[in-house]
């Protein structure tokens, strides 16, 4: 029997919407009928874990039934190695969503080696793009991949050697619609060049909306519209963004392979 499909959300920079995206992905996949487990690896911030804690309290308080993934928080102080924690939480799951801390972390690096789908959310700006590749100040052309891109490349290479499996690296362009058009085009062109050199796919992520911050205290998601009270056009549009993002992950069906296998590429210097 094949093991679960690991979706690892990783970005060494904070403030990119990583945990919000991971929570919504875990709930959306649960709502679709998948058996989903989620592991929060950011023991200090614990955004994913707290979000789902709030969701549990809302279920109890309102007496409603909401899609709920199995979830836990990884704590290295307890002595359980990260690989053991991933095996444990994935034992009864089809999909495991892992939210890593927004910093370089040795356990996060190990989790990346388990990724079948590696998701790197970035804000649609050159500040966040610098995490993946350095851009020339005059031409906006990519000069070279960054340290993080090299880290991902090494992780993918090691996984291929150890497990004989490929990794689908997906870069999410979050908050696209609220930036100046010329800047958005330049970022898009640089990402396109990098994707060809380093080997990742680019898909649109979640927009910059107050909606997401308002959902956190109740642990609700954009799929829980009947429980949100007054719903506007913005909620509907954001829910569609979420659905398109999940489709963009191109995850394997329960009976078949992923629709968009990872591409291979050499890391250019």
Q: What is the CATH number of domain 5-248?
A: 3.40.50.300
**pLDDT, tens digit, 9 for 90 and up, residues 240-254:** 999 999 999 999 876
58 or 146, greater pLDDT: 58
Burial zone of 106 (CB within 10 Å; 0-12 exposed, 13-18 middle, 19+ buried): exposed
Residues in CB range of 225: below 8 A, 6 or more apart: 231, 235, 236, 239
pLDDT > 90: what percent of the chain? 49
pLDDT above 80 for 269: no
What pLDDT score does 145 carry? 85
Question: What confidence category does residue 66 fall into, taking pLDDT thresholds of 50, 70 and 90?
Answer: very high
Which residue, 140, 138, 118, is CA-closest to 129? Answer: 140
State the Cα–Cα distance between residues 227 and 84, nearest whole angstrom: 37
Cα torsion 25, 30, 31, 34: sign: positive
pLDDT above 50 for 172: yes
Task: Output the pTM of the full model.
Answer: 0.87
Coarse DSSP helix, strand, coil percentages of the chain, rounded to the nearest 5 percent: 45, 15, 40
Looking only at Cα atoms, what is the longest distance across the chain? 58
What pLDDT score does 177 carry? 53
What pLDDT score does 237 carry? 87
**pLDDT, tens digit, 9 for 90 and up, residues 201-239:** 999 888 866 788 889 999 999 899 888 877 788 888 889
Domain ranges of the chain: 5-248
């Amino acid at each position: 029997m094949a093991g679960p499909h690991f979706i690892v959300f990783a970005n060494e920079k904070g403030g990119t919407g990583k945990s919000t995206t991971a929570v919504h992905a875990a709930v959306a996949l649960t709502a679709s009928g998948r058996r989903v487990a989620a592991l929060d690896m950011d023991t200090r911030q614990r955004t994913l874990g707290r979000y789902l804690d709030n969701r549990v309290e809302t279920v109890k308080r309102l007496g409603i039934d909401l899609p709920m993934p199995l979830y836990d928080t990884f704590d290295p102080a307890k002595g359980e190695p990260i690989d053991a924690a991933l095996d444990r939480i994935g034992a009864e799951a089809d999909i495991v969503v892992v939210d890593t801390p927004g910093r370089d972390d040795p356990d996060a690096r190990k989790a990346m080696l388990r990724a079948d789908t590696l998701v790197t959310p970035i804000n649609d700006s050159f500040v966040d793009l610098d995490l993946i590749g350095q851009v020339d100040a005059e031409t906006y052309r990519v000069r070279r991949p960054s340290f993080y891109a090299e880290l991902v490349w090494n992780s993918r290479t090691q996984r291929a050697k150890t497990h004989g499996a490929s990794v689908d690296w997906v870069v999410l362009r979050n908050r696209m619609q609220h930036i100046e058009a010329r800047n958005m085009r330049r970022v898009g062109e640089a990402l396109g060049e990098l994707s060809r050199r380093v080997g990742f796919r680019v898909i649109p992520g979640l927009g910059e909306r107050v909606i997401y911050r308002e959902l956190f205290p109740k642990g609700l998601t954009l799929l829980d519209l009947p429980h949100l009270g007054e719903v506007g056009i913005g909620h509907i549009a954001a829910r569609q963004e979420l659905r398109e993002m999940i489709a963009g992950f191109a995850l394997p069906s329960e009976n078949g392979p992923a629709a968009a296998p990872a591409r291979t590429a050499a890391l250019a210097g």
